[in-house]
Amino acid sequence: MDVKKAIIPAAGLGTRFLPLSKVLPKELLPLVDVPLIDFVVQEAKNSEIDKIIFVLQESKKFILDYFKQNKKLENILEKDSRRREYLKIIKEKEKELENLSFSLIFQPFPKGDGDAVMRARNFIKKEGFAVMFPDDVFESKVPPLAQIKKIFQTSQKPVIGLKRIPKDKVSSYGIVSVEKIASNLFKIKGIKEKPNPDEAPSDLAIVGRYILTPEIFSYLKKTKENKKGEIVLAEALNLMIEDGKIIYGYEISGKWLECGRKIDWFKSNLYLLLNHPEYGPILKEFLKEIKK
């Protein structure tokens, strides 16, 4: 099995970003000068994915417009010599998206990441596929998805992206118990969602990058809803592990830029802005001025 398709669940309510998320989906919030969802799509493309499957609420379907050609806008820019430089920006973005196809499926209610993955099952045949969450952005030489794809191509078993986190943060993440196999590579023995720090099985957190096989769909059907009425992907993976199925975890190399909460989004923006080749020097000078 090769991995050429990626599911991007983006049907959540974005409650942590209210009131802004009432009118603007969290996935379109800017990280420097492009929306969050652009980063994950670029990562998919750079990992040799050629089909993106968005799982969205119907009210958020205009997210797809960002990736479509806007001929009306292009005609306006083409006719105005003062604005042709902006046409070039749009054309460059279109070129970046060449050879990528996009599909859309609706999740009427936010019933969990497992439900979102399940809804995309008709797009998946007998092949491995990626699941990528836009909240998690990475700065790395090798795209995180490409890193875990390499493990999948060798093993043909599900692979989950992991990062080490401080003990005081484990209660906010899915934490794995593991058996180490090699450098950065683990066999996952179980997943505990948001454990108390003293009960966390390790310091390895799941970071929104998965490669799964179609077998996951039969386990998602068996997974019971939690107290919030959600189907949780981690619970389906735990059922697989209980049945003796092998699931690997790989500690991703690179800087993890979290964007799931406002403060994390602010920090990630600040980091990327200050390190931006064009904006960084200007902003650093500005910071010196306002400190005076």
How sure is the predictor about 80, in pLDDT bands with cuts at 50, 70 and 90?
confident
Whole-number Å distance between alpha carbons of 92 and 188: 41
Whole-number Å distance between alpha carbons of 244 and 56: 33
The whole-number pLDDT of residue 81 equals 83
CB 167 within 8 A of CB 197: yes
For residue 1, pLDDT over 80 is answered with no
Whole-number Å distance between alpha carbons of 204 and 201: 9
Averaged pLDDT, 9-17: 90
pTM as predicted? 0.92
3-260 has which CATH code?
A: 3.90.550.10
For residue 8, pLDDT over 80 is answered with yes
CB 262 within 8 A of CB 36: no
The whole-number pLDDT of residue 201 equals 94
**Cross-strand bridge partners of residue 267:** none
Averaged pLDDT, 210-216: 97
How sure is the predictor about 98, in pLDDT bands with cuts at 50, 70 and 90?
confident
Domain boundaries in the chain? Answer: 3-260, 261-292
For 40-73, the pLDDT digits (tens) are 999 999 999 999 999 999 988 999 999 998 999 9
For residue 101, pLDDT over 80 is answered with yes
How sure is the predictor about 124, in pLDDT bands with cuts at 50, 70 and 90?
very high
Instruction: Name, in order, each residue with C-beta under 8 angstroms of 74's C-beta and a sequence gap of 6 or more.
Output: 87, 90, 91
Instruction: Name, in order, each residue with C-beta under 8 angstroms of 48's C-beta and a sequence gap of 6 or more.
Output: 3, 4, 146, 149
For 129-138, the pLDDT digits (tens) are 999 999 999 9
pLDDT above 70 coverage of the chain, percent: 100
